[in-house]
């Protein structure tokens, strides 16, 4: 029996909302995605979602996403750059059957949905992290050995580039360089794979989880119930703390947003996405586990959205088992060292 189903506009709105929370401060703001959603459903009503188990081993799939600065995305909006990249990739590879998100995030989950809808492709219920990540090597696709070459980037003006990086580390560096030329907003197609490789590499059920979380937030808001409690229940998360955003700093370096957010007695350091949370000088959560923002009046937030004076809950969520490995943690270690943490990975359940 096939599980496949079609996503309604409300389904996608819930997915965007849930993915924004689960993006751990990154993955792109919901605003540009919600605006683009209106246009998407004016042009198509057939967005087909399938489980990874339904994908035939000989089928072909690719990751469709955006790359750039979250701050730029919030200011400039999104013009469907990833669709230009996908079309260029399909000219190169031939017919592609399935589209996947690179990560969980209000924007980057939606970019894959948008590509699937506009290009009449099936969307796979999964992604490469179960959260948002700043670099391509921090995906289960890379960890499973899916080649990152060739990689296609495009902007909305029709400019495109085909890159042949030797690995995901170089794909990230080369991609960021091109993205800078594209005014910090590029669409990408990467991790071209077979159906068998897809099943081995993907974090399954990611989109369904986002939808359930988004629906729980929407329904709690509508019923004027405790939205934070609803989100904690649906994510099986831990409340790390609540408070007013006292201070936010951000600096763009090397194509990334580096920043620090102070809320109550908690300090969160981020590189696009939240990397580590501190309380009284000690870590209380770190990657690959997620550190997520939800305003106490029910709005999931990214680090680009967060403003001083907002009242927020800081939610911690355990990473998917595929992402809670030594190999996955190793891809984040260099970032944590910059942020003054040089130890081994410790899960939320150990720290809180």
Q: Note the pLDDT of residue 2.
A: 60
Q: What percent of the chain has pLDDT over 90?
A: 89
Round to whole Å and give the CA distance between 339 and 107: 26
Read off the pLDDT of each residue in 260-289 and give the average, rounded to a whole number. Answer: 97
Q: What percent of the chain has pLDDT over 70?
A: 99
- The reported pLDDT for the residue numbered 1 is 46
Q: Across residues 176-184, what is the average pLDDT?
A: 91
> How far apart are alpha carbons 30 and 8 in whole angstroms?
17
Per-residue pLDDT tens for 32-54? 899 999 999 999 988 999 999 99
- Residue 28 has what pLDDT? 87
Instruction: Tell me what pLDDT residue 169 has.
Output: 92
Task: Say if residue 142's pLDDT is above 50.
Answer: yes
Q: How far is 268 from 316, CA to CA, in rounded Å?
A: 12
pLDDT of residue 307: 95
Is pLDDT at 6 greater than 50 in this prediction? yes
Gap between the Cα atoms of 56 and 60, Å rounded = 9
pLDDT, mean of residues 270-289: 97
Distances from the Cα of 80 to the Cαs of 69, 77, 110, 175, 272, in angstroms? 15, 10, 10, 17, 21
Average pLDDT value for the chain: 95
Q: What are phi and psi of 149, to 5 degrees?
A: -120, 135
| pLDDT recorded at residue 88 | 97
Using only C-alpha atoms, the chain has a radius of gyration, in whole angstroms, of 19
User: Residue 7 and residue 186: Cα distance in Å, rounded?
Assistant: 26
Question: Measured between alpha carbons, how far is 29 from 36 in angstroms, rounded to an integer?
Answer: 12
CATH of domain 5-204: 3.40.1610.10
* 152-171: average pLDDT: 96
Alpha-carbon gap, residue 76 to 32, rounded angstroms? 9
| pLDDT tens digits along 64-90 | 999 887 777 778 878 899 999 999 999
> What would the pLDDT profile of 292-338 be if each residue is shown by its tens digit?
999 999 999 999 999 999 999 999 999 999 999 999 999 999 999 99
- Per-residue pLDDT of 84-138, as tens digits, reads 999 999 999 999 999 999 999 999 999 999 999 999 999 999 999 999 999 999 9
CATH number, domain 227-351 = 2.40.390.10
Kind and range of the H or E run holding 119: helix 108-119
Task: Name the residue among 127, 123, 116, 43 with its Cα closest to residue 86.
Answer: 116
Domain ranges across the chain: 5-204, 227-351
Whether the bond into 287 is cis, omega within 30 of 0: no
Dihedral sign (CA 187, 193, 195, 196): negative
| Stretch 206-228: mean pLDDT | 97
- C-alpha 284: how far from chain center: 22
């Amino acid at each position: 029996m096939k599980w496949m189903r079609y996503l309604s506009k409300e389904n996608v709105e819930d997915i965007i909302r849930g993915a924004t929370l689960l993006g751990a401060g990154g993955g792109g703001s919901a605003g540009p995605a919600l605006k683009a959603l209106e246009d998407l459903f004016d042009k198509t009503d057939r967005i087909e979602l399938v489980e990874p188990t339904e994908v035939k081993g000989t089928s072909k799939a690719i990751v469709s996403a955006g790359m750039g600065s979250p701050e730029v995305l919030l200011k400039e909006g999104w013009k469907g750059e990833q669709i230009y990249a996908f079309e260029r990739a399909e000219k190169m590879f031939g017919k592609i059957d399935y589209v996947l998100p690179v990560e969980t995030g209000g924007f980057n989950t939606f970019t894959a949905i948008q590509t699937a809808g506009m290009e009449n492709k099936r969307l796979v219920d999964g992604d490469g992290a179960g959260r948002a990540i700043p670099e391509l090597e921090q995906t289960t696709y890379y960890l499973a050995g899916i080649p990152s070459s060739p990689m296609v980037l495009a902007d909305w003006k029709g400019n495109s580039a085909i890159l042949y990086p030797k690995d995901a580390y170089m794909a990230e560096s080369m991609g960021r360089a091109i993205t800078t030329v594209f005014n910090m907003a590029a669409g990408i197609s990467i991790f071209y794979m077979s159906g068998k490789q897809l099943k081995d590499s993907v974090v399954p059920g990611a989109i369904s989880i986002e939808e359930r979380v988004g629906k729980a937030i929407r329904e709690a808001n509508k019923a004027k119930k405790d939205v934070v409690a609803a989100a904690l229940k649906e994510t099986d998360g831990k409340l790390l703390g609540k408070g007013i955003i006292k201070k936010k700093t951000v600096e763009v370096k090397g194509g990334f947003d580096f920043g620090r957010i102070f809320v109550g007695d908690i300090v969160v350091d981020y590189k696009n996405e939240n990397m580590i949370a501190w309380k009284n000088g000690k870590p209380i959560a770190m990657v690959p586990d997620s550190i997520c923002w939800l305003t106490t009046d029910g709005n999931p937030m990214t680090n680009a959205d967060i403003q001083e004076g907002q009242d927020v809950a800081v939610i911690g969520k355990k990473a998917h088992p595929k992402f809670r490995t030594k190999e996955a943690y190793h891809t984040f270690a260099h970032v944590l060292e910059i942020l003054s943490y040089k130890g081994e990975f410790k899960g939320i359940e150990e720290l809180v």
